[in-house]
Each structure stands twice: as structure tokens, then as C-alpha cells.
Structure 1
Amino acid sequence: MPRKLPPLSALRAFEATARLGSVTRAGEELGRTHGAVSRQLRSLQDHSGVELFEKAGTGLRLNERGEALRQVVAKSLDALEQGWLRVLEEARGPSVHVACSATFAMRWLVPHLQGFYRRHPEIRLRLSMTSAQEIRHQGADLVLVWDRRSYPACDRERAIRLTDIAFGPVCAPGHAITRDGERLVCSTRIAHEHSASAWETWQVNTGLTASHEAELFFPHTHLCIEAALAGLGVALVEQRMVGEDLAAGRLVAPCGFVPFADGLAAIPARDHGVSPAARAFLAWIAEEFAAEAAAH
């Protein structure tokens, strides 16, 4: 039986207009004129027999039926786009798309990649360097993450543990930080905007309480590290991310580092199994971590 669908071009115009909140901007994204997009929207409403938009000043906004359709269309177009890109990538040869934090990519993964390419010259590795909050739905084969509490249960259950991790407070030498019994006292605490719970986890694991007068937030761990290097306060970071800074004396870790139980893990994509290329990457990175631990 033929599919009962409206014209796909009309659905694209509808989704772009709803997402961007403007017929003009939708036209710019789609390479169409304002009039052409408006005709696609009228065509979709005529095809459905229901109104999808309502007037909002000089513009349009979705009504209840329009919002319901937007959710369906957006999800379908996302899946179509990811599937299309996956087919194209597979046609070009084995590849693996890894999403991780920008700090981990810059300070650990990229410096180690030469070993991966030597072992697997046939595999293309694509990296998405985004914040922890943003990397959920980028179409990645693997998401590398240490804090899995905000992920759905089905994702947490599929997580593949890769290595131990340990966090500790770091600051510039001479920065005002003192330990008073079970209290760590500093003037300014530096926290990650999307994983500020790391400080609470550290306190539970150490039995110490971090006391501070002010707090600075940054959206990426490397900015937290740079703030600590600049003497702005005390940042809580994973020890691998600051190994060179500690060795060079640019930072100090007055309390050392304590393990975080869940460790670093890889979460495979839900919509397809772990590919041979992804398995090769997982085997390689686990070996790199094991060799690193043995060396220390």
C-alpha cells in the first residue's frame, strides 16, 4: 500500500519554520523564498485539513496540533539525517564517531591517537568535542562520559567501563587554600556549569567539606583549569587532565586525588549495535588506559 504522507518538502518547510520561529529564516536555511515556504505551509495545512499555526503579532506560532506534529516530524527528520550520514560514512570505509568532552579530547585523546591510527589505519575516527550537556544526541557511535547519573537507565545499563578516574582540587601555587580539620577552605571555588555535582561527590568520597566565599562557573573543564592556572580559585578536575600542569609546577593538588566509583565509560548508540570499528576503538582505548596505569 502507498504511504499516507504529505509532501516531504512541505514537512521540511514546516519543521524549519517551527524550529526557527520565522518563515524568512526557514527560507534562508532551505534556500527558498519567503513566498515559497509560505506556499509549502499552506499546502501542508490544506493536506491535513487542520490549522497548525496561529497568529502571534506579525508572526506565526504553533497551536496545539502544530506542536504535536512538530515533535513527530523533528524526531523523524533527525533519524533520517543520522541514518543518511551513517550510510555515507559506511560507504567511505570503516569509521567510528566518538563524542566526548572538549577537555578530554584536547588533553588526552588527541595526543594518544597516533597509536590508534598506527594500529587501525583503515578506520576513520570522527570526534564531537562538546560539553557534557550537549553530547547526548549527536548521532555518535560512542559517548565517553564519567557522570552517568543524568542519563536514562537504558543508557546506564549499556555503559562499558573503560578505566578508573580520580578527582582532586587544584590551584595555582601560593593560592590561599587551607585545611582546617575536615574542612577545605578557599576564597573562590571553580565549578563546571554542567557537572557541578562533582564537588558534592568529592566531599562524600573524602569526608571533607569544601568551604568557600564565592563561586565561579564555566561551561568547559579546560576553562575551569585555565581559571585555576590564572589564580582565580580552586577547581576540581580529573587527574589526567592536569598531569602536565602538576609536573611542571603550574598547579598543585593540596589534597591529592580520590577515585570516583563509576569511572570513565563508553555508552554505545541505542539505534544500532557496536560496529567492528567501534569495538576496535574500545579495545584500543582500554589498552591505552591499562598501559598508562601500569606505568604509574
Structure 2
Amino acid sequence: MARHLPPLSYLRAFEATARLGSVTRAADELGRTHGAISKQLQLLQEQLGLPVFEKSGTGLRLNEDGAAFFATVSRAFDLLEERYQELKASRNEASVHLSCSATFAMVWLVPRLAEFYSLYPNCRVQLTMSSSARDGGTNQARDGMDIMLSWDRLSRPQFRREHIPLASVSFGLVSAPNYPFSANGDDFSFPTRISPDSLSEQWTNWQAATGHRISAQSELYFPHMYLCVSAAVSGLGVALVERRFALNELKSGKLVERSEFLTYENGFVAVIQPGRALSPAASHFLDWLRSAFVRE
């Protein structure tokens, strides 16, 4: 007998929206647009013949029918994930599924992967890009990731999830050498500041921690810190960056430091799934990563 079920994409959209309480956050997690998730929710409710959400401020919350349906869908997804992970583990593959920001992947990790593979030729690293500055916009457990790397302590100063410290991170101002920049004590002024992904709270948090006051006439936004560094090199403005990602440009003189760097000890962390033991491949990768940071 044929099964009478809605498309899995509808259920994934429903489960993510119910769990996160937001269509926007569900779209970010699933890598879809807001409109696509909204449409899938609409089609699911049409197939059910009843609503499962109700408005709550600017977001959504489950109604009574929706809460009951969510409990069933969530249990089913948990069981599917558990069996999926068991099957993957039974193959005994030497691989590590890693989530990290595009900036870290492009600027630091990929150029050094040959070293890792030379030490562990039977291990393979599977990369998933998380949101540029939020680090881990995807749901780690449900996407089957072993490790999520997080470094942006200006946007997310604390981590309550289980994690392994790897290295310090440092944030400061950089610009092209000839870019106009005025410093009067703790007051800095310049024409344009450069920010990743409209995350202006990075500037607010940096000023609060350092005591500096920033005055800029305009702001430019780019999707990744890597592009912010490139924009600063091009003379478009002053960027607030993690020093590791601008190190080559600082060494070459394409960029100059315009401030001291605010350091978070052990601010670069590997977030792991609670209660789940690291695979040998994941342990090898973290050992290599930690030693590479120490050498640098």
C-alpha cells in the first residue's frame, strides 16, 4: 500500500520553523530563501487542511495541532538521524565533516589542507560553509557534522555548548596605508567603515571592550570577512577584522594596523555534539589544527 505522506521538504521546513520559531532562521539553516520556506509551510497546511502556526509578535508559534504534529515529526527525524549515523559509522570511513566560515576555509584552512593530508593520507575533510560571521548557521546535529569551528567572539562572546578551545582570536582596525584616518586619544574618525553581513554589533562590542569611540560617515557591507579585508586593501574604508585573516596583507604592507587588537584567549573553538565521541578522523584533525595554530 502506498504511503500517504507530504514531501520531505515540507516536513523539513515545518520542523525547522517550529524548532527555531522563525521562518527566516529556518531558511538560513536549510539554505533556502524565506519565500521558499513560507511556500512549503503554506502547501503543508493546505494538505493537512488546518493551520499549524499562529502569529507571535514578528515570529510564529505552534498552535495545539501544530505542537502535537511537531512532536511526532521531531521524533521521526531523531530516529532517522540516529540510524543514518549508525550506518555511516558502520562503513568505518576515515572522514571528518566540518562546518566553518567561508573566510576561515578560504584564507586559512584550504591552503594548508595538503599538510594535513600528508600526515593523514587516509583521512578526508568534508566542508560545509556556515554563515560568514555567525559560525554555524546550519544545525550541526541534524546535518551530521562532527565539528563546527567558531571564532567570531565579537558577535558571539560566549558559547554555552560543549566545545574544545583551540587558539586565541584578536580583533582590531586595519586599512590601506594611505587611507584617511584620524586618532584623537580614544576617538577614531574616518570616512567609511567596512562590516561583514550587516553585523554592526561587532563595532559596538569592540568599542565597549576597548573604550574607543568610532566616528564614520558611511558603512559598506560584504558577505564575508575575507571580502572585508580585500575591500580595505582596495582603499574602500577601515575594516574591523580578526588578525589571522589579514595577516598576509599586514606582513606585505598592503594593510596597516590602526588600533590595538582585542584578544579573546581560547576564543577559537571547536563545537562538538554533546555526548557523541569524536571519530578518529575528527580527533586527528583537531590535533593537527591545534598544533598548526601553535606553530603560527
1:21 aligned to which of 39, 51, 74? 39
Partner of 1:10: 5
1:217-242 C-alpha deviation (Å, 9 max, x unpaired)? 23321222222122221111111111
- Deviation of 1:269 after TM superposition, in Å, equals 1.8
- Structure 1 22/281 Cα, relative in aligned 2: closer, same or farther at 3 Å? closer
Partner of 2:225: 221
Identity of aligned residues (%): 33
1:185-222 C-alpha deviation (Å, 9 max, x unpaired)? 11111122365433234324433222212222233212
The question of 1:67 aligning with 2:71 is answered no
Amino acid at match of 1:243: L
- Structure 1 111/212 Cα, relative in aligned 2: closer, same or farther at 3 Å? same
Specify every segment of 5 or more residues in structure 1 that has no aligned partner in the other structure, as ranges.
1-6, 27-37, 46-50, 55-61
Partner of 2:187: 183
The question of 1:119 aligning with 2:123 is answered no
- Structure 1 16/93 Cα, relative in aligned 2: closer, same or farther at 3 Å? closer
Q: CA contact under 8 A between 1:17 and 1:25: conserved in structure 2? A: no
Q: CA RMSD in A?
A: 3.4
Q: Structure 1 length normalisation: TM-score?
A: 0.73
CA distance in 2, matches of 1:69, 1:152: 33
CA distance in 1, matches of 2:75, 2:223: 30
CA distance in 1, matches of 2:122, 2:260: 41
The question of 1:107 aligning with 2:107 is answered yes
CA distance in 2, matches of 1:20, 1:210: 39
**Residues 132-211 of structure 1 correspond to what in structure 2 (within 5 A)?**
132-133=133-134, 134-137=137-140, 138-147=143-152, 150=156, 154-155=160-161, 158-193=162-197, 195-211=199-215
**What is the count of residue pairs matched by the alignment?**
258
The question of 1:280 aligning with 2:287 is answered no
- Structure 1 105/70 Cα, relative in aligned 2: closer, same or farther at 3 Å? farther
Amino acid at match of 2:150: V
Amino acid at match of 2:106: M
Q: Which has the larger radius of gyration?
A: 1
Counterpart of 1:247 in 2: which secondary structure?
A: helix
- Structure 1 143/16 Cα, relative in aligned 2: closer, same or farther at 3 Å? closer
Q: CA contact under 8 A between 2:193 and 2:237: conserved in structure 1? A: yes
CA distance in 2, matches of 1:221, 1:8: 47
- Deviation of 1:267 after TM superposition, in Å, equals 0.7
- Structure 1 275/195 Cα, relative in aligned 2: closer, same or farther at 3 Å? farther
CA distance in 2, matches of 1:219, 1:96: 26
Amino acid at match of 2:114: Q
- Structure 1 276/22 Cα, relative in aligned 2: closer, same or farther at 3 Å? closer
Partner of 2:294: 290
CA distance in 2, matches of 1:53, 1:97: 37
Q: CA contact under 8 A between 1:143 and 1:266: conserved in structure 2? A: yes
- Deviation of 1:260 after TM superposition, in Å, equals 2.4
CA distance in 1, matches of 2:209, 2:156: 19
